[in-house]
Structure 1
Amino acid sequence: MSGTPTFVNDVMAERVVGLRAGAAFKDIVKAMREWQVGALPVLDDSGVVIGVVSEADLLPKEQYSDRDIGRYGQVEHLSELRKADAVTAGALMTAPAVTVAPATTLAHAARVMARNRVGRLPVVGRDGTLKGIVSRSDLLKVFLREDKDIAEEVRRQVVPRHFGTRTSTIRVEVRDGVVTLSGRVHETALVPPAARLAREVPGVVDVRCASAGPPRHPNLDPDLPEADHPARSEAEPSVRRGGR
């Protein structure tokens, strides 16, 4: 893995196989086994992604082979029964396909996967043609980044942005992807936004803050009166207690 992976284009697999809409059921199964994948994109004649066939689309063929589910079951599982009768990729595929662009951030791609409950996404160009495939395991490659590289980026990109010229008082340590920010800061309100920005650095697992505010000025001469309690003037009359 060269450089810092930030976009789908950095981690996607470019060598992929696509199916034509007329691909036969058994050929689909063979392709999945050969490529060791659980889903394959379906392309039209111009190479545009029009759908995806997954193992879940193929399973109804076996699941409903006996058709013994009753009339009400047939209504409830109509979509699965249609797939059970399908014999080509065009009839089996889920369409339209959920896709991402090469310049999609890894974080956004992960949200798309989670929202649509899929483990692989076709990567398409502006014209809809297939450019690659990105999987969950591809998105996790970012966490293989070296701790020293993460620390350097936090020092270079995060610390100066929030703490300005006082960066010498901020320490950045990274261990197993966990960033720790420590040292004294002139304004503690700056720490939470700095932590949020550090969490966005590729490869960061978590951010912990051990920063302290500016030191309190010590009372250098305790015998002197406090500034907000001036000493009583000698000319100021005193009040005697317990007699005249």
Structure 2
Amino acid sequence: MRHRRIGELMTREVVSVSGDAPFKELARVLTHHRVTAVPVVDGAGRVMGVVSEGDLLRKAADHGAVPGDRPPVPELEAWERAKAEGTRAEELMSAPAVCARADWTVVEAARLMEVQGVKRLVVVDAEDRPVGVVSRRDLLAVFLRGDEDIRREIVDDVLGATLRLDRADCTVEVRDGRVELAGRLPYRGMVPAVERMCAMVDGVVSVSTTRLGYETDDTPGRHGTDDTPGRHGTDDTPGRHGTAAGGSGR
């Protein structure tokens, strides 16, 4: 099982600007290249920060008003006011830049975007020089994987190579990224583990184990095989423990 790496999804054509780039040049760069943000680099090409449309629009929103018109935006904090009054990239940029590495997984990049509240990440090399940009839209590309591709990875990598299960023990159906598992596993404790591992496969939307049973209940407090009716093997009766009901989404 292999998560897709950022290097496979990122846009490699990186448009960057120098720290002394003036406001109007920044507006031209964003408009001409049809991008919403650009990294700001120093003399050695290392990323110092990022200038976005939002950074430029802050100046427009706080622009000095003419007599009788509404005053500049009053809610801006001191640092926002300083940026609004800036005229060069190094004064307008958001710093430090939120960056990623090309060998990061989609999961790592998505988590960083969520924590930092950003829509894109500058991808840098070991010298902190930009080599690409990855956006939320790029990360969503993993959900465009075909159902058969997802099913093959679950069968070959998760159930086969990792868990060493016989293909006859567990069948896998995938429709629109929704995975449904059926069959019988050796132990009850394997059911949630299989569910979690399948949910981690790129492109999976949800996992259902309602049709997945087990041979032996190895959960804490039980010793060996429990012969109590309805607790051993697959039991289709509602509320019984033989069928491990559950499901998870990504």
Q: Same fold (TM over 0.5)?
A: yes
Residue 39, structure 1, aligned to residue 37, structure 2 = yes
Change (3 A) 1:115 1:180: same
Change (3 A) 1:162 1:189: farther
Q: How do residues 201-212 of structure 1 correspond to structure 2 at under 5 angstroms?
A: 201-209=201-209, 210-212=211-213
- Of 17, 20, 23, which residue of structure 2 is paired with 1:22? 20
The amino acid of 1:212's aligned partner reads: G
- In structure 2, the residue matched to 1:13 is 11
Give structure 2 stretches of 5+ with no counterpart.
66-70, 217-225, 228-250
SS at the partner of 1:83? helix
Distance 1:90 1:45 in 2: 12
Task: Calculate the TM-score normalised by the size of structure 2.
Answer: 0.78
Greater fraction helix: 1
Q: How do residues 145-160 of structure 1 correspond to structure 2 at under 5 angstroms?
A: 145-160=145-160
Greater fraction strand: 2
Larger radius of gyration: 1
- In structure 1, the residue matched to 2:126 is 126
Identity score, percent: 36
Cα pair 1:163 1:190 within 8 Å, conserved: no
Give structure 1 stretches of 5+ with no counterpart.
218-244
- In structure 2, the residue matched to 1:238 is none
Measured after TM superposition, the shift of residue 160 of structure 1 is 2.7
Distance 1:122 1:213 in 2: 46
* Bigger shift: residues 122-131 or 158-167: 158-167
Cα pair 1:158 1:198 within 8 Å, conserved: yes
Distance 1:80 1:171 in 2: 56
Cα pair 1:162 1:190 within 8 Å, conserved: no
Measured after TM superposition, the shift of residue 161 of structure 1 is 5.4
Query: For this pair of structures, how many residues does the alignment match?
Result: 211
Distance 2:47 2:172 in 1: 45
SS at the partner of 2:192? helix
* 1:181-224 residue CA offsets vs partner (Å, 9 max, x unmatched): 1112222220110111111111111111120233999xxxxxxx
Residue 94, structure 1, aligned to residue 94, structure 2 = yes
Distance 1:116 1:199 in 2: 24
- In structure 1, the residue matched to 2:171 is 171
Cα pair 1:122 1:130 within 8 Å, conserved: yes
- CA RMSD in angstroms comes to 2.2
- In structure 2, the residue matched to 1:233 is none
- In structure 1, the residue matched to 2:62 is 64
Distance 2:20 2:58 in 1: 19
SS at the partner of 2:99? coil
Residue 50, structure 1, aligned to residue 64, structure 2 = no
Change (3 A) 1:99 1:165: closer
Measured after TM superposition, the shift of residue 113 of structure 1 is 0.7
Distance 1:14 1:179 in 2: 33
Cα pair 2:3 2:105 within 8 Å, conserved: no
Distance 2:199 2:137 in 1: 20
Distance 1:98 1:87 in 2: 22
The amino acid of 2:127's aligned partner reads: D
Distance 2:121 2:46 in 1: 14
Cα pair 2:159 2:165 within 8 Å, conserved: no
- In structure 1, the residue matched to 2:185 is 185
Measured after TM superposition, the shift of residue 69 of structure 1 is 5.6
- In structure 2, the residue matched to 1:199 is 199
Distance 1:78 1:110 in 2: 30
Distance 1:63 1:165 in 2: 61
SS at the partner of 1:28? helix
* 1:145-168 residue CA offsets vs partner (Å, 9 max, x unmatched): 111011011001111356534331
Cα pair 1:101 1:125 within 8 Å, conserved: yes
